[in-house]
Amino acid sequence: MTVNMASWDRIVRFVVAVIFGYLFFTKMVSGVVGIVLLIIAIVFLLTSFVGFCPLYKVFNFSTKQ
CA distance 52 to 30: 29
27: left (phi over 0), alpha (psi -120 to 50) or beta: left
Q: What is the rounded (10 degree) CA torsion for 65, 56, 50, 35?
A: 140
Question: Over the chain, what is the mean pLDDT?
Answer: 94
Is pLDDT above 90 for 65? Answer: no
Q: Quick one: pLDDT band at residue 23, thresholds 50, 70, 90?
A: very high
Give the three-class secondary structure for 25: helix
Question: What are the two backbone dihedrals, phi and then psi, of residue 12, each rounded to the nearest 5 degrees?
Answer: -60, -45
pTM (predicted TM-score): 0.89
